[in-house]
Chains A and B, each alone.
Chain A
Amino acid sequence: EVQLVESGGGLVQPGGSLRLSCAASGFTFSSYDMHWVRQATGKGLEWVSAIGTAGDTYYPGSVKGRFTISRENAKNSLYLQMNSLRAGDTAVYYCARLRVPPAFDIWGQGTMVTVSS
């Protein structure tokens, strides 16, 4: 079964750090671009970061310089290192696979990140 499973969410104080993980199974992980997308409670979807098969990375301005996406193909794993966290980063974070033609065809169940003192 093709599956993505996120972990690592939790409660963190403003200014703190957290590392999210996403375990992939059922497909050739190294062959796909992978992304993180977040959703604040009751709000819409917001793209957070992307990593290509060659390790190229992309971020929106809202997280650039604070978040780092990485992958470890040998472990079929995707990561998101989040530093200098703010209250506005509070959301459910999903990892998602980008198919070709581009669209997110596989999503994890999400992991909740709460930034609060």
Chain B
Amino acid sequence: EIVMTQSPATLSVSPGERATLSCRASQSVSSDLAWYQQKPGKAPRLLIYGASTRATGIPARFSGSGSGTEFTLTISSLQSEDFAVYYCQQYNNWPPLTFGGGTKVEIK
């Protein structure tokens, strides 16, 4: 099973600042990685797939990078609606499909 580890667990950022979230895989997943955003009481929302491709309707301030075992989600200028929990997920080697434990982006 591929273990996905996200860091930090919580990220405190001021509106307008840049946020950088990390996701590490226990073995290479190539570029088979997705990022999701989840707000309280809501279903997750797909942001990024293929490590770096934005999903339909996702603003350009969200960008993904990385390959192999190290991945990054960057939010270039945080807006109020971006404060949420973010999950990475690999689909390179499954079953099982695995998610990271999440990073909560909170207002500083």
Contact = CB atoms under 8 A, between A and B. Distances in A.
A58 B44 contact: no
Contacts of B49: 99, 101-103, 105
A60 B91 contact: no
Nearest to B33: A103
Indicate the size class of the contact surface on chain B: 20 to 34
B32 A102 contact: yes
Given A103-B91, A104-B46, A108-B43, A60 B96 contact: yes
Contacts of B89: 45, 103-104
A101 B48 CA distance: 11
B68 interface: no
* Most chain B CB atoms below 10 A, which of A58, A94, A104: A104
Contact of A104 (B34, B94, B95, B98): B34
Nearest to B35: A103
Given A50-B95, A58-B95, A103-B49, 12 more contacts: A44-B99, A45-B99, A58-B94, A59-B95, A61-B96, A102-B32, A102-B91, A103-B55, A103-B91, A104-B46, A104-B89, A108-B43
Interface of B: 32, 34, 36, 38, 43-46, 49-50, 53, 55-56, 87, 89, 91, 94-102
20 contacts: A44-B87, A44-B99, A45-B89, A46-B99, A47-B94, A47-B98, A58-B95, A59-B95, A61-B96, A99-B49, A101-B32, A101-B53, A102-B32, A103-B49, A103-B89, A104-B44, A104-B46, A107-B45, A108-B43, A109-B43
